[in-house]
Chains A and B, each alone.
Chain A
Amino acid sequence: MNFDYSGEQQMLLDSVLRYGLDNWSADKRLACLKDLPSNVTKSWAEMADLGWLMLSIPEEEGGLGGTPVDVMALMEGIGRHLIPVPYVTSCVLVPALLSGTGETATEILEGIGLGNIRAAAGFLESEGGFDLNYVGLSAELSDNRWLLSGEKVHVEDGGDADWYVVSARTAGSIMDSDGISLFLISANSPGLKVENFRAVDGHTHSRLRLDNVNATLVGEKDQALMRIESAVDRAITAHVAEAVASMEMANAVTLDYLGTRRQFGVSIGSFQVLQHRAVDMAIAAEEARSMMLHATLNLNADPVTRKRAVSAAKTRVGQTGLYVAKQAVQLHGGVGTCDELIISHHLKRQMMLDTAYGQADYHRTRFANVS
């Protein structure tokens, strides 16, 4: 039992922290956000050069075969400096969905690792909430070609994707666990309409409408749900690490502010009510870090253990992350609500991280019902 990073993991974390400080630090952020797409593209290319994009891709598919702890180290750096790249989607979720499914997938994974391809994944449908088994999008086999029709209401980080991995119904009815398959579609496929949405945290998401879109089956037909759940759990756990690092940064910035801001002739950190609030925020971050470790170190456990660990972490980190970010704004007072201070950006990212793949209450229910 130990909770230390290896030397290599610590070096990875240090270099991501250095990269974030150099390129996305709080004082540069507003300027970066003014031309967000080109800054994200620039960062993406630099991260590719650094080898980070291929971290969790298996070695036999052109990657580094990194472990969940490696990914956690990298995500801590991304979260601390709120780097708004679609890393989790393209480099954690999609590789987990595609790896080991054949040649087409391998080509795409190699492209992702080198920074030439961005990919996203769509599961969620209207009326399905965050349920991954709620799949109505249809897949019909015609002349040995799969044709997909239907809609995906939210594709996390779908904005600039070159490829989409989507779940489709190949058997059974809309909420069945069996009969779900995964398909790859190119972003410029005829019959595919992509609508993009800017989120408050700098990420760009999509809605997909498919009308007889030509698609490639990946993995085993009808049996994709387990693979999807496992991949989404990896994405959630990476998001959890991002959230924890963001919380810790928000706490550090707030603590600094408590020491420097003066009112009533004294620093506001001398007030006991604010001291106790800061302590509760510190405890919240300790709990969240513990949950991050719990989820990450159980990612390769049996499915029941994994699901309970991941949903427990998603629940508690969602709750504590929002608590910390909201209190950080509160303790800053009026300026906490301004774009100019980094604090409001942490709150917006925490809100989005809580929402991604199901808020705290959704995952608490999943935790209770896993068997």
Chain B
Amino acid sequence: MNLEFTNEELAFQEEVRSFFAEVVPKEWLTRVRAGLRLEPKELIAYQKALAERGWGAPNWPKEFGGTGWGPTQIYIFESEATRAGAPIQFHQGLELIGPIIFTYGSDEQKKRFLPGIINADDWWCQGYSEPGAGSDLASLKTTAAKDGDEYVLNGQKMWTSYAHVASHMFVLARTSNEEKRQQGISLLLVDMKTPGIQVKPIDTMDEKHHTNEVFLDDVRVPVNNLVGEEGRGWGYGKVLLDRERMVSAANAIHIQQVIDGARAAAERLIAGVPLYKTPTFSSKFAQLEIEATALKTMVLRLMADAAAGVDSGPRGSMVKLRWSELYQSAMGLWLEALGPEAAHFRGLENTQAPSDMPYAMQGALYSRVTSIYGGSSEIQRNIIARRALGL
């Protein structure tokens, strides 16, 4: 039992560290620390830089253009990204549809779509949730009716993040009505330029446009864009279950950026003393750091499990749940550190305001969604109760 890296791993760490020193601009820092996504063009530039270095898909096998890295290398990579102020890679292509395509897709689909995900020529969004299908996704109503060599999509998708940017969308739609609701659902790959797709922004409390409603009105999709078999789409999500621990792990590693953000804000002087040195704040900050230490060690154990090919059980769900809680409390502490000026969201005319002024508040507001999306904390608890505790 030990925490040390091997010499090879240390050399890799050096290599990654010098790469990040080159590619991460300083103006990203506050947004990254606040857990906010960068602008699409910034994320695309970042992804392209990674792809050029051969590191575009850290979690993918080599044969599909990934790095083939093991868990320890991925841990080192994300830790160095965190240190350097780099963002999390945009995950909907890389972590959601990419792995489904390379596991279940046709050779043609792999050839057409996988390179575009890695080199950021394509941007994918996820057409899963609907107005009546949130946590209960199997109740989705969007239909795909076969008409010759095309499917005709009709319905409404909701919470479709970055649909306004995306070139493609992967859609779950009902191709038949079966007794079991999870059956008869198919997975289709849709070009966003197809006629009949209308994207409407959803205004969210953080005043940042990231999510949308998507209306599908007689959208015609070639049958070649069906992934796997018709009616089997629900099951393909299972491949992600085992992978999502790595996504949760990456988020959890990046929690240090939020903590650094709160700590930097606490340099503010209170009667000549930095806020972080005052007893109440220092105590709350220590609590946060301690809980983050527990989370990081949970991630290390998860990585060790993955390296040994051992099932982590529900540890991925636990990490997701605790990460979202810690992100939220860290943003709360960051706002508290801003003091009275936390009330200043944006400067109006004739105001000298720092350009990164809104980010802490935006992050604090945005953070609320992290315990809701990707399986809410309550759904995660249901999963853990069932899978780990047998309840």
Asked whether A2 lies within 8 Å of B291 as measured between CB atoms, the reply is no
Per-residue CB contact flags for chain B residues 267-300 toward chain A (1 = under 8 Å, else 0) read 0000000000000001101110111011101101
> For the complex, is B67 an interface residue (Cβ under 8 Å from A)?
no
From B283, B298, B318, A368 is in contact (CB under 8 Å) with B283
Per-residue CB contact flags for chain A residues 3-26 toward chain B (1 = under 8 Å, else 0) read 111100100000000000000000
How many angstroms between the C-alpha atoms of A257 and B209 in the bound complex? Answer: 48
Chain B proximity of A4: nearest CB distance (Å): 6
How many angstroms between the C-alpha atoms of A361 and B293 in the bound complex? Answer: 17
Determine the chain B residues whose CB is within 8 A of the CB of A259 once the complex forms. 390-391
How many angstroms between the C-alpha atoms of A2 and B4 in the bound complex? Answer: 8
Asked whether A275 lies within 8 Å of B283 as measured between CB atoms, the reply is no
* The stretch of B180-188, B329-337, B381-389 that contacts the partner chain: B381-389
From B72, B298, B384, A1 is in contact (CB under 8 Å) with B72
Asked whether A312 lies within 8 Å of B293 as measured between CB atoms, the reply is yes
> For the complex, is B208 an interface residue (Cβ under 8 Å from A)?
no
How many angstroms between the C-alpha atoms of A287 and B283 in the bound complex? Answer: 19
Determine the chain A residues whose CB is within 8 A of the CB of B207 once the complex forms. none
Asked whether B1 lies within 8 Å of A2 as measured between CB atoms, the reply is yes
Asked whether A4 lies within 8 Å of B287 as measured between CB atoms, the reply is no
Q: How many residues of A contact B (CB 8 A)?
A: 40
Chain B proximity of A263: nearest CB distance (Å): 15
Asked whether B389 lies within 8 Å of A275 as measured between CB atoms, the reply is yes
Given contacts A3-B304, A269-B391, A367-B286, is CB(A279)–CB(B297) below 8 Å? no
Chain A proximity of B74: nearest CB distance (Å): 12
Q: Which residue of B lies closest to A294 (CB)?
A: B297
> For the complex, is B378 an interface residue (Cβ under 8 Å from A)?
yes
The dominant DSSP class at the A interface is helix
Determine the chain B residues whose CB is within 8 A of the CB of A162 once the complex forms. none
Asked whether B291 lies within 8 Å of A69 as measured between CB atoms, the reply is no
Determine the chain A residues whose CB is within 8 A of the CB of B344 once the complex forms. none
Determine the chain B residues whose CB is within 8 A of the CB of A316 once the complex forms. 290-291, 293-294
Given contacts A1-B4, A279-B384, is CB(A367)–CB(B391) below 8 Å? no
How many angstroms between the C-alpha atoms of A367 and B3 in the bound complex? Answer: 21
How many angstroms between the C-alpha atoms of A269 and B386 in the bound complex? Answer: 11
How many angstroms between the C-alpha atoms of A258 and B1 in the bound complex? Answer: 35
Q: Which residue of A lies closest to B4 (CB)?
A: A1
> For the complex, is B111 an interface residue (Cβ under 8 Å from A)?
no
Asked whether B304 lies within 8 Å of A2 as measured between CB atoms, the reply is yes
Between A and B, 27 residue pairs with Cβ closer than 8 Å are A1-B2, A1-B4, A1-B72, A1-B300, A2-B1, A3-B300, A4-B304, A9-B1, A255-B391, A270-B391, A276-B385, A278-B385, A279-B381, A282-B318, A282-B389, A283-B322, A283-B384, A287-B295, A293-B301, A294-B293, A294-B294, A297-B1, A312-B289, A312-B290, A316-B294, A367-B286, A369-B282
Interface residues of A (CB under 8 A from B): 1-6, 9, 69, 255, 258-259, 269-270, 272, 275-276, 278-280, 282-283, 286-288, 290-291, 293-294, 297-298, 309, 312, 315-316, 361, 364-365, 367-369
Other A-B pairs beyond A2-B2, A276-B378, 13, CB < 8 Å: A1-B2, A1-B300, A3-B1, A6-B1, A269-B391, A270-B391, A275-B391, A278-B385, A283-B322, A290-B295, A291-B297, A315-B290, A367-B289
